[in-house]
Amino acid sequence: MSEAVLAYVPVLHEGYRRFLESHGPGRALYLIGPELYAEERPLTKDIRALPAEHAALAIAAWELFDTVTVLDVAQAERLAAAGPALIAPAEDVSYAVVERFFARCEVRYDTVFLRWDKTRTAALLTPQAAPARAGDEALAELAAAAAEAAGQSVDWWRRVGAAIRFADGTVETAHNEHLPHPLAAYAAGDPRSNFYKGVALELSTAHHAEARLIAAAARAGRSTEGAAVYVTDFPCPPCAKLIAAAGVGRVYFREGYAVLDGEDVLRGAGVELLRVA
């Protein structure tokens, strides 16, 4: 059997059009119908999704595929028995359906970003940033201050320090600290131990260094407009949103990964991102 395309298409937008147009000519398209994901709560609760039959009619009108079929369980089992080679979007719906029905088939995944599925949501991305400029006096001062602050953290697994340089040139620092007291994670256990990096970020007893800096500035009535911030690790999404809302103009970071929309939020707010070697 020749190659076919297997896809969950809850809505038609440019991302799906590119994917379908790229893989359509000369192939059959099998749309993942509701029977195949009936036990997936995030999908069954997604009231925005087009009925699969409506998506099939619309896609068929584009005349990209030889045939367009909505799969139910019986059809999926018959298709799997034929042993086709499949092309599917690289997302959790595809992985689940392939594991259940097409484990013995050759499957090629396309990494086109189609939606915020579980796999994409938890992905650890490499932040894209220009290198910090040599001879930057503000950087040297902030880097030393943040490194010293990181050394004060008792969080053995994630010792993060941050420093902010206000418009008047003064510098304040902070490090990540667990609440309600610094040793809380060791007395009751760290809830982050139950999750992988980048997953359920809000479920933590730690007050992040960047959030502590901005909260302290707000409490003291100090403007953070145009300030420069140095963080030893790239900001998490909640901290990125705080930094953007605080009007910070520049963020230096030494290492780390970007999760979800953190980098996009910073760039959208006009924050300059600089990576420190």
C-alpha distances in Å from residue 11, one per residue of 36, 39, 64: 17, 20, 17
CB-based contact 155:206 (threshold 8 Å): yes
The enclosing H or E element of 60 equals helix 52-61
Is the predicted pLDDT of residue 73 greater than 90, yes or no?
Answer: yes
Res 77: pLDDT: 95
Q: Quick one: tokens of 108?
A: 């090629």
Residues 60, 29: Cα–Cα separation, whole Å: 9
Which pTM was predicted?
A: 0.66
DSSP 12: -
Q: Tell me the per-residue pLDDT of 121-170, one tens digit each, with 9 for 90 and over.
A: 777 788 888 888 877 888 888 988 988 988 888 887 788 999 999 999 99
C-alpha distances in Å from residue 111, one per residue of 108, 114, 129, 260: 10, 9, 22, 16
Query: Residue 74: phi, psi to the nearest 5?
Result: -60, -45
The lowest-confidence range among 103-107, 156-160, 216-220 is 156-160
For the segment 184-202, the average pLDDT, to the nearest whole number, is 77
Q: Tell me the per-residue pLDDT of 22-48, one tens digit each, with 9 for 90 and over.
A: 998 889 999 999 888 877 666 666 667
> Which of 79, 69, 71 shows the shortest CA–CA distance to 102?
79
Q: Is the alpha carbon torsion for 22, 24, 27, 32 positive or negative?
A: positive
